[in-house]
Structure formats: structure tokens, C-alpha cells
Amino acid sequence: MLGHKKRVVCAVQRLEAARDAALRARGAVGRARPAAAYLPRLKQLSFKWQRGLKIGAGTFGKVYTVVNTESGQLLAMKELSIGAGDRRALQRAANELRVLEGVLHPHLVRYYGCELHREEMLIFMELCVEGSLEALVVTSGALDEQIVRRYTKQLLSAVHELHSKNIVHRDIKSGNIFLTNEGHCLKLGDFGCAVKIRANTTAPGELQGFVGTQAYMAPEVFMKSSGHGRAADVWSLGCVVTEMASGKRPFSEYDSNYQIMFVVGMGGRPEIPPDLSEEGRDFCHLCLTHEPDKRPRAAQLSTHHFLMVKNDDDCKCETAFLLPKSNEDSMQ
């Protein structure tokens, strides 16, 4: 009885196989291929390295110094933890690198490549050894106006470069601005919120989503119905200028982000220091114009009198690059 049952099962299986083969031959059915794992195309490293000291931590990861063991050059490395199968985190990290492909500028932090591991992505970038603008303001208080003018001019040139490449940073703040060359040179970094937009013209409502840091956030960003565009970066720039000139974080008098959003939503703006020059106050008012379509573009602001800086020869800012291998390594 058992043998008969087994022969029936085998006959049915042969019949099903023959039927399936006939359907495939007619193209009526196909074989589903498993979906390939999401692996973004990213620039891979071309050098060996060794981890150094931890120098910072943020929302999405930690930052370390690393040494390029082939040249001895010091770099910075951001370590992003990515859970197994977390495509969103991987996409966010990949976006930070992809946005900057082909963008080289003396006042933008240079990215060199990445390594992708099972649960982490390592992003390698230029090391700005003087720390952040935020740390400078905390320790030094209000900056001299000549320095404010110099830093504003440098920061605006970085923003203009991004906007000319259809890139909106969306999280410009003093904590994402770094100093180098003994503090003479400023560089905008941390592009985790940056996004490439479609059009060459500024469309205030082109981008959607609640991104950025509330104290520096343009009103149109958290008014989700209207959306935002390049003009949001100009508002954030104005917030940074008031911070440098006053020595205080924008809206430092408020305790919560909800208070800040309420004040901005009702037409408020960060306090502009009264001892700032008339040119400086005018520059801030232009940046902090509530209607995004009336806010000047970065290119327009670049000719403002506030940015007519004298004696900026100490800057000597250059686009960063990887040093070549040392002679000892090339001889091995």
C-alpha cells in the first residue's frame, strides 16, 4: 500500500514538472529572482588607515581621527552604526557622500570615500583641527566684527557653491561649521541632511520634510504645507551671523524648541545685536526675511557691503586633498 502511494506521488510530481516546463517554454510563467541587497555605489578607499582618538559624537554617529598609514596624513572618520537590514540608515549615509560627488571648494569639508561593513559605514573626510565655530563662540563669546565679516563671506561662498550645484544643505549651524589654518579658514561640513534638488531655479516649496535644527530653521521648513528650497539655507546663514556677533545661540532666551517654532511662526526672528554695524544689521535682516520668495539668494548677498573684507590675506584657504604615498612605502 505504501509503495503504491509513493508511486502515485512521484507520478503527480512528474506531471507537474512537465506542465511547468511547457508553460515556461511558452513564456507563460517565469522564475522569480531574489532581490539583490541594497548596496549604494560609493567611492571606495584607496589607502590603508589606522584609527586614532574619538573627537566627537552626533545624532547619527561618532567621529575619530585616523592616520593614512601610507602617507602619514591625519584625517577624520565618521562611524555610522547601521542595523542589519536598515536600508533607511544606509541610504541616509550614502546620500551624504553622493550629494558631494564632484563638489570641491576651499570652504567645504572634503570627503574622500568610505568603507561599508556589516553594521556600520565608515566615512572618511578632511580633518579640521581647530574644531567647530560653535565651540569657538562658546569659549570666546561675541567675535570681533572683522572676524564675523570674514567668516560670513567664507560661509556664503560655500553656500553659493552648493546652490550652484543644485544642493541644499538644510542644516547650516555653528556646530556644522569647522575651522582650520589657525582659525583663519572656515569650512561647512556635515551633509547628512543635504539633498540634491531637481531644478536650476529656486523653488521655495520644492522640498518637503522637517529637517534641521530648530534654532536655525527657516519658518517655511516647519510649516510643512508650504515646503522649502534654497532660501532656507539663507535664513540659517543669518542665524549663524547673529550668533557670531552676539556670542549667543539664536533664541537662547527660550527653553524649548516648541517655543522657538511658535515665535518664528508668529513672525519672530533671532535678535540682531544692536552693536553690530549698520551694514551687518542690514545683512542679517535680508537673510532673516520671513517670506522665502523675498529672501535674497546667496549670489545676490555676495556683493553686500558687509562682506567687503579688507586684509584677508591670512586666509589661504585651499581645497583639501590626499597626500601621496611616502617614499618609504613606494619603495616596498
Residue ranges at the known binding site for ATP: 78
Residue 258 phi, psi dihedral angles, 5° rounding: -65, -40
Residue 100 buriedness (CB in 10 A; 0-12 / 13-18 / 19+): buried
Backbone angles phi, psi at 81, to 5 degrees: -80, 130
Neighbours of 74 (CB within 10 A): 14
Closest CA to 169 of 179, 178, 180, 158: 158
Q: Are 128 and 182 in contact (CB under 8 A)?
A: no
To the query of whether residue 171 is one of the catalytic residues in this protein, the response is yes
Are 292 and 204 spatial neighbours (Cβ–Cβ below 8 Å)? Answer: yes
Backbone angles phi, psi at 79, to 5 degrees: -105, 115
As annotated, the binding site includes 78
Select from 173, 175, 170, 220 the least CA-distant residue to 195.
170
Name the residue among 72, 59, 190, 81 with its Cα closest to residue 128.
190
Task: Give the active site residue among 20, 86, 171, 312.
Answer: 171
CB atoms inside a 10 Å sphere around CB 329: 14
The residues assigned a catalytic role are 171
